[in-house]
A and B are shown apart, each in its own frame.
Chain A
Amino acid sequence: MEKILEADNLKKEFGGILALRGVSFSMKPNTIKAIIGPNGAGKTTIFNIISGIYSPSGGKIWFKKERIDRLNSHLIATRGISRTFQNVQIFGNMTALENVMVGCHPWTGSEFLACIFKTRRARLEEKKIHLRARELLEFVGLAGKENVLASQLTFHQQRLVEIARALATQPELLLLDEPAAGLNLKETQEMANLISKIRQKGISVLLVEHDMDLVMGISEEIVVLNSGEVIAEGTPREIQSNEKVIAAYLGEELNVENKKS
């Protein structure tokens, strides 16, 4: 297909404040694309619109040729879009494995009665879910932590569980909201590797990120947002030499020097 995601003139208003003033961009399948921009530019708002938490005040979004801007969150997941959250929204009351198992929800179907009476179908499904969740925890590097309560994991580990959980939904498009925030140099490198591995599995990745090393390192395309508008879109090289981008970031510290080691 030509484009997996297409946003056309997205607007979002919050009681008088115009968070997005007409944002358009598109994304090719099986690529890694990053959305960057100063704080308050509207990056997370875009994510929230794509994932169905908000509906836009104007504009349209297509995912694989289907209009998704009016769909509720839980339906977006069944369409093949999954996400992580900036402030990790882990299920603290469940183990790491159970967290990822919840991710299997969209493609499984045992409902109330089936679960209460433990039908054969429900039991078979349960085995599949269990297996898949284990595989994914191993994939993100958390083998061995299955039965730890999620609230007791380190921040980095919680991030990884969230990614495993999002992958469990079998998405074609994965939205990562600031995956490197709060990570040190080594952890960020591991995150970059993980994202590349995900892309190798055929999943398209759209990420919001402040860490320029990570962004420039793995993205194939970047779109730059400022004050609710797109000011540039292109390859990392093009963006780095773009005057408007440099102007927008002037006064902002590019996170190249400032790293927690």
Chain B
Amino acid sequence: MGKKNFFSLIGLTSIVLILPPLIGNPYYIGILVFVGIYSLITIGLSLLMGYTGQISLGHAAFFGVGAYTSGILSTRFGLDPWLALLASLLLAAGIAFIIGAPALRLKGHYLAMATLAFGEIIYIVFNQWIEYTGGPSGFGEIPRFCIGGFSLESDFNYYYFVWVIVILILVMALNLIHSRIGRALRSIHGSEIAARAMGVNVSRYKLQVFILSAVFASLAGSLYAHFVTFISPTSFSVMFSVALVTMVAVGGMTNVWGAMVGAALLTVLPEYLRVFEDYDILIYGATLLLIMIFLPEGVVGGIFQLFKERMTRRSVKFTLNVKSLWRRY
């Protein structure tokens, strides 16, 4: 996966390990749990947006499918949370296939609208199917995950649980990017027409990445449900889908690290900007707009660009200096 990524992974793992004892306050640990959960979604979404160049406005819905399926199966039907998790992953994959297959066969951005429509439909279903979902008021008493008799209840335990999964998923994503398929995906981003000429089945890969990202989102949803133990439709609205897209765009679309940075920024900052609660819509819109116009590579991407430019400038200066010194002697 490359030296840079490997060392960054080590770095991340170290930070993840030492943060909780440093921070101590369970409220902040809880926030970091959410950062982890949202990172799972954004990593998948960045693969979709950054490499296949497609947008999904329905990832909150996949997040919701994961949460509700896990929740309903483990409360209503008494299924073990792990089995419920598996079932919801399969369901999400199936739905993603049904929506994605027709939409991704077509030129252009039908997927954006199809996922927007899907997101709205799911939101309606969550609100209307009162029998199973509890309607607008949601439902609770979702059981916790258990690992061999040990119930994952405290924020501390869940933090490590979630972040182990995040790191595993990150490794998977990085493996994918630095592989034959990853190159194929990047080639789609570079030139679809040439990618096809080189034997890359563009439509099929777009679909597969879409399904993968949906499964990641569903996984995040299940983890969410078994953490907050009470879910209602408001957490899974189209607005949250937009927030997710914003996280990826802000962090940097073509970069899975950027996706995590975006998730972190947009989860942590609102804590400090509580006073702007009602204006979150305006802030998302303005942020998206400004980033797209001025910093389309996102924050992480933009920093990379700046760094690269400084390095080239410095190396040019350095070479010139060496040359002039050489000439003198």
Contact = CB atoms under 8 A, between A and B. Distances in A.
Interface of A: 51-53, 72-74, 76-78, 82-83, 85, 89-94, 98, 101-106, 108, 110-112, 115-118, 122, 125-126, 129, 165-166, 168-169
A73 B186 contact: no
Interface string B202-236: 10000010001000000000000000000000000
A105 B199 contact: yes
A126 B179 CA distance: 7
Interface of B: 172, 175-176, 179-184, 186-187, 189-191, 193-202, 208, 212, 254
Q: Please indicate which of the listed interface residues A115, A165, A168 has the most CB atoms of chain B within 10 Å of its own CB.
A: A115
A105 B194 CA distance: 12
Contacts of A74: 196-202
Contacts of A85: 193-194, 197
B196 A72 contact: yes
Contacts of B199: 74, 77-78, 105-106, 169
A127 B180 CA distance: 11
Q: Closest 7 interchain pairs by CB?
A: A91-B190, A106-B199, A77-B199, A115-B179, A73-B196, A89-B194, A89-B191
B184 A105 contact: yes
A110 B175 contact: no
Contacts of A104: 180
Q: Please indicate which of the listed interface residues A74, A89, A166 has the most CB atoms of chain B within 10 Å of its own CB.
A: A74
A169 B194 CA distance: 12
B94 to A, nearest CB: 17
Contacts of A94: 183, 186-187, 190
Contacts of B189: 93
Nearest to A151: B190
Given A74-B202, A105-B198, A53 B180 contact: no
A91 B194 contact: yes
B182 to A, nearest CB: 7
B179 A51 contact: no
Contacts of A116: 172, 175-176, 179
Contacts of B180: 101, 104-105, 108, 110, 115, 122, 125-126, 129
A85 B208 CA distance: 28
Nearest to B201: A74
Contacts of A118: 175, 179
B176 A112 contact: yes
Contact of A90 (B179, B190, B196, B208): B190
A239 B193 CA distance: 34
Given A90-B191, A98-B183, 9 more contacts: A52-B196, A72-B196, A73-B196, A77-B197, A90-B190, A102-B187, A108-B180, A116-B172, A166-B197
Q: Please indicate which of the listed interface residues A83, A94, A102 has the most CB atoms of chain B within 10 Å of its own CB.
A: A102
B186 A93 contact: yes
Nearest to B196: A73
Nearest to B209: A112
Contacts of A83: 197
A122 B179 CA distance: 8
Contacts of B208: 112
A52 to B, nearest CB: 8
Nearest to B194: A89
A137 to B, nearest CB: 15
A91 B254 CA distance: 15
A153 to B, nearest CB: 14
B175 A117 contact: yes
Nearest to A108: B180
A76 to B, nearest CB: 8
A110 B179 contact: yes
B198 A102 contact: yes
5 contacts: A51-B197, A74-B199, A78-B199, A103-B198, A122-B180
A108 B181 CA distance: 10
B312 to A, nearest CB: 11
B203 to A, nearest CB: 9
